[in-house]
Amino acid sequence: MTVAVHGSSVREVLGSVRRLRRRHSPKSGADRFTDAYLGAFLFAYGIAAVGWLFDVDLTGASFSFHDTVIWMPVALFVAMWGVIRHGTWQGPVLYSTPEMQWVVSSPLDRRQLVITRLVRAGTIGAIAGAAGGLLVTIIAATMTDVGLVGVFVSATVSVIAVALTSVALAWHTERSVVLSTAVTRSSPLVAAVAGILVAGVTTGHELPVLWSGPWGWASASSIAASGGEVTGWPIMVALLVVVTVVAVGSAVVTADHIPDEELWRRAEAKSTAAAAMYFGDLRTVRRVAKRQRARSHVRGRTRTVRHPRRPWLVVPDWDLLTLRRDPSRLVTSAIFTAGAFVAAVAAAERAILGIVAFLALYAAAARLVEPIRVEVEQPDGHLMLPWTWGTVLVLHTIVPVVAMTVMGWIGIVVVGVAGFDGVSGLWPFAVVAPFAAGAFVLAAAVSAARKPFPIETLVGGGDASPVLAVLWFLVGPALAAIVINIAFGMLRTGLEGDPAGIMSSVLFLAAGTAAFATWLRTRKPASP
């Protein structure tokens, strides 16, 4: 059959699809107005929250604009890395599966299709950059009387440049398997660089930090405006402009360097992740991202579990095996634990930091009990094993308890060596650490052993549904808080010289942990 055809431009086709979709959109004009109103409302509250954060003065120290803006290179470095890493599984050029089926597969100019999406991502990046510049200006307005217009222009332009560079680099990551693999594998290196930048800022070595890359170059003018002595900041701005032009130019030149298969994989990942996000299922989003990255990042899997002395030891060995293959859970947990120690040390002056430290430790434990969530998702999996479902769950808490104990001991030694109390004064904490780790991990395990949050509660639960949602997520932290709070109350008397206080603290933590374990052991999997 012969059909008469005429050529269409990418712009026409995409515009037409957009119009058609809008025509069938369930959103009315009133809905759109509500969205805009809510957006403006939240933005205003966000700005107020930033102001409040600086007013409450959490650490008890006083900050100047310069003390704050000096952290800009670190913030930009992290943001830049986040955008580039996003390119390992999604990236700036993203089409939905229907668009892949009906638009990208049609005989349209591939280059234009990619550039259209690059322009869109660049625009979003520029808007985010402008918002970042506005944030710096707001901070400046609350802390200093320097010329705000100058601060706004320098911050906005430079942050927009970083955003555009990041989008361009994310595109290169997206189109190249080699680069994507390199980005995925370089996380430890990036963490090390971030650590060096933080160390540079805290020890007053600002200039090397500023010269270290686009994140520093983009911060130079703002830091100079805050009164800092920044030698050669105009050169840094010039370097930033050159890098941005080169990055964006190379992205445009390589616009057709991506196979259909890759765009399809990303479209499918986007579709799955969007559905999971709708239900607030962040674990699935994380898993989709990991799977997408794994295409170029299959680790050696020849090592397997060892022959255990006792059959039940196979479960901890299995958890160690999976942690070795994917250490990200351990790394995140270590970061939370480190944050908790920093907050705990500062908590002597601000009680709110004590709560932050507690929540960070709970988050560290919650991150480690991932195998329990896998068991919940896979209720038939345990049928292969000789133990009840509840027993399998308890066995899965062994490695997290050991890991948290070790991290706790390391934290105690670091705090001691840093000279806060001396290591010898911290021994009661070292004694209590394994039992506290048990209470945190088992409380997190009790929470994780439930089915995922029933999102329908939020949709059809009536006025009380937000309260129910909050209560749902509070169960784990609340259980941990009850046990930890009482135990640390007892420990306080131990620190004041009464050894019985330490003993009773240990016994109370052990009893709480045992109670959680007993509850966990009686759980049954959901019926199929």
Partner 1 sequence: MRSGSTEGLQRVGLPIRWSMALRGSPASTNRNSVTDPNESQPLIDVRLLGRDYGDVTALDDLDLEVEPGSVVAFVGQNGSGKTTALRLIAGRLEPSRGSATIAGVDVQDHQASGYLRSLVSFVPDQPALYPDLTVLDHLHVVGFAHGVDAVDERAESLITRLGLERRSHSLPRELSRGMRQKTQLACALIRPFSVLMLDEPVSGLDPGSRRELHALLGEAKAEGAAVLLSTHQIDFVEGLADRMVVLRDGEVVTVGTYAEVTAGGVAEELGLR
Cα–Cα distance for residue pair 131/162, rounded to 1 Å = 13
Site for partner 1 contains 302 (CB under 8 A): yes
Q: Which of 131, 142, 145 is nearest to 226 (CA)?
A: 145
Piece of 136-144, 164-172, 262-270, 301-309 that binds partner 1 (CB under 8 A): 301-309
Which CB, 304 or 424, lies closer to partner 1? 304
Q: Which is nearer to partner 1, 29 or 386 (CB)?
A: 386
């050669």: which residue's tokens?
A: 232
Q: Which lies closer to partner 1 via its Cβ, residue 62 or residue 302?
A: 302
Residues whose CB is less than 8 angstroms from the CB of residue 5 and which lie 6 or more positions away in sequence, other chains included:
none
Q: How far apart, in whole angstroms, are the C-alpha atoms of residue 302 and residue 520?
A: 33
Q: Which of residues 303-332 bind partner 1 (CB under 8 A)?
A: 304-305, 307-308, 311-312, 314-315, 318, 321-322, 325-326
Find the shortest distance in angstroms from Cβ 91 to partner 1.
21
Among residues 415, 435, 423, the alpha carbon closest in space to that of 348 is found at 415
Size of the site for partner 1 (CB under 8 A): 30
- Residue 174 beta carbon to partner 1: minimum distance, rounded to whole angstroms: 22
Note whether 378 binds partner 1 by CB under 8 A: yes
* Binding track, positions 248-287, relative to partner 1; x by CB under 8 A: ---------------------------------------x
Interface with partner 1 (CB under 8 A), residue from 82, 195, 227, 381: 381
352 CB-contact burial (10 Å; exposed 0-12 / middle 13-18 / buried 19+): exposed
Residue 380 is a binding residue for partner 1 (CB under 8 A): yes
30 binds partner 1 (CB under 8 A): no
- Residues contacting residue 109 through CB under 8 Å, at least 6 positions apart: 9, 10
Using the rule CB under 8 A, is 188 a contact of partner 1? no
Q: Could you tell me the smallest distance in angstroms from the CB atom of residue 26 to partner 1?
A: 33
Closest distance of CB 317 from partner 1, Å: 8
Task: Return the range that interacts with partner 1 (CB under 8 A); candidates 187-195, 232-240, 298-306, 354-362.
Answer: 298-306
Alpha-carbon torsion 5, 11, 14, 17, what sign? negative
**Minimum CB distance to partner 1, residue 439 (Å):** 26
For residues 115-134, which are near partner 1 according to CB under 8 A?
Answer: none
Task: Check if the beta carbon of residue 398 is closer than 8 Å to that of residue 371.
Answer: no
DSSP 404-471: HHHHHHHHHHHHHHTTSS-GGGGHHHHHHHHHHHHHHHHHHHHHHTSPPP-THHHHHSGGGHHHHHHH
Buried (b) or exposed (e) across 360-386, using 16+ Cβ within 10 A?
bbbbbbbbbbbbbbebbeeeeebeeee
Of 293, 295, 297, 300, nearest to 324 by C-alpha is 300
Q: Hey, is 378 helix, strand or coil?
A: coil
Residue 526 binds to partner 1 (criterion: CB under 8 A):
no
528 near partner 1, judged by CB under 8 A: yes
> What are the residues binding partner 1 (CB under 8 A)?
287, 291, 301-302, 304-305, 307-308, 311-312, 314-315, 318, 321-322, 325-326, 374, 378-381, 383-388, 527-528
